[in-house]
Amino acid sequence: MPPSLPPPSTLLPPLICGTATFNDQYNPDPYALPTTAIVHEALSLGVRAFDTSPYYGPAEDLLGAALDTPFVHENFPRRDYFLLTKVGRITGDEFDYSASWVRHSVQRSLERLHTNYLDVVYCHDVEFVSPEEVLTAVTELRRIRDETGVIKYIGISGYPVTTLCDLAEMILDETREPLDVVMSYANFTLQNTRLASVALPRLKAAGVKVVPNASVLSMGLLRRKGVPIGGKGDFHPSPKELRAAIQAASDWSDKQDIKDKRLEKVAIRWALGNWIHEGAGVGSRGDPASGIPWTRERIEKYGGNKLGVSVMGVSNVEELRETMRVWRSILDGLEDGEKTAIDSGRGTDERGWSLNRQKQVQTLATGIRNVLGTWVDYSWPSPPPGFVNQRRAPSVPAPLPTPVASPDPLPKQSTTEAGSDMRRLSQI
């Protein structure tokens, strides 16, 4: 991170809207999803960050189209929200971490997202390539950052927490500069908490500033009806024995005399609520989407406690609203939650309800983990045994044509500003 940039822990919001669901891996037809409505509602509810990837099928295009609309242009300046994307993973069995592909991928993401800079760029699913390839990609991303300014912060993402730690330590040793962000998924959930127990001490020691926790439902595993079946069929890497244990835990939870006991409701609230505290040391002071107006200037002036950063994924507006209700209830239960509830207009009773719900969820979580037994903290192998990267002869395709401008775009830049942006992009 250049010294001219503030640490990402002062800016990134503690709740990020993920777009892996804008993909046929989770849904039969991502183009049938109300993606624009989801993005607009998220912004209206205070969400100020979106995570995506070229690997997520049309997700970058769908997110970019939702952001390149009059509603967003007129109400949410680009500096007020954060875009996080990735490089390196192309398909399920194709990875390219070469400098040339990294440059191409960054430029393509800028075009798809209709932006002239990216707040965070991760190397995607780093366990599938060699440490040397990861170092090459990180080095190129930093070159782009330093020479063009179109990237602000750089990180890695993946599943095995020990691999994430090994690579964070290696990059610090080799470059004398720590990674800004390391994102883990499905490793702080009702079933698996290795992100906290195994990874956090090492990532902190490696100088990582922010560690977002993604996929709190473990890619849909922690649901009453089981893993999602999208257009690509059953993609989930969990073994059938773990799925059976999860189903038994769900059945146990359904029998308890507690309201809102469905497995996914318990799992979401437990993970979001606990990571706020467990991940605070590698969390952020950004806009918490509490319902209270927030500005960067306010946090710079007054400071504030860091909260662990989570990434949520939804497939419709109602799922988004429900997740936001849960999130804000969790905030109401924090130490200063009563003031938050009053200032946001939710009322004085919300803190008491939140604390009571927290006890209910903890009771259910304890029982669910007892049913899971030896499957608690199990993690599946990633990559799977025998994996071979099919990217044998990587080549960079010709640049994509510039997308057609959407109706009612932002006011045109001056000739000087436009020329400056084009020069920056051409340097990638």
Residues marked as catalytic: 56
**Residue 119 DSSP SS3:** strand
Task: Provide the 8-state DSSP code for 406.
Answer: P
What is the H or E stretch that residue 190 is in? Answer: none
**Nearest to 47, CA basis, from 85, 9, 76, 74:** 76
- What are the beta bridge partners of residue 49? 82
* DSSP calls for 216-269: TTTTTTSSTT-S--BTTB------HHHHHHHHHHHHHHHTSSSSS--HHHHHHH
**What is the rounded distance in angstroms from the CA atom of residue 129 to the CA atom of residue 388?**
10
Q: Are strands 94-95 and 89-91 parallel, antiparallel or unpaired?
A: antiparallel
**What is the rounded distance in angstroms from the CA atom of residue 127 to the CA atom of residue 184?**
12
**What is the rounded distance in angstroms from the CA atom of residue 204 to the CA atom of residue 355?**
30
**What is the rounded distance in angstroms from the CA atom of residue 236 to the CA atom of residue 238?**
6
User: CA-based Rg of the chain, rounded to a whole angstrom?
Assistant: 21
**What is the rounded distance in angstroms from the CA atom of residue 394 to the CA atom of residue 197?**
38
Backbone angles phi and psi of 94, in degrees to 5? -125, 125
**Nearest to 245, CA basis, from 375, 123, 91, 417:** 375
Residue type, 335: E
* DSSP calls for 328-375: HHHHHTSTTHHHHHHHTTS-TTHHHHHHHHHHHHHHHHHHHHHHHGGG
**Nearest to 183, CA basis, from 216, 218, 214, 139:** 214
Question: CB–CB of 206/168 below 8 Å?
Answer: yes
Q: How does 376-391 read in b/e, with b if 16+ C-beta sit within 10 Å? A: eeebbeebeeeeebeb
Structure tokens at 235: 């993609």
Chain CA centroid to CA 112, Å:
18
Question: CB–CB of 394/98 below 8 Å?
Answer: yes
- What are the beta bridge partners of residue 284? 307
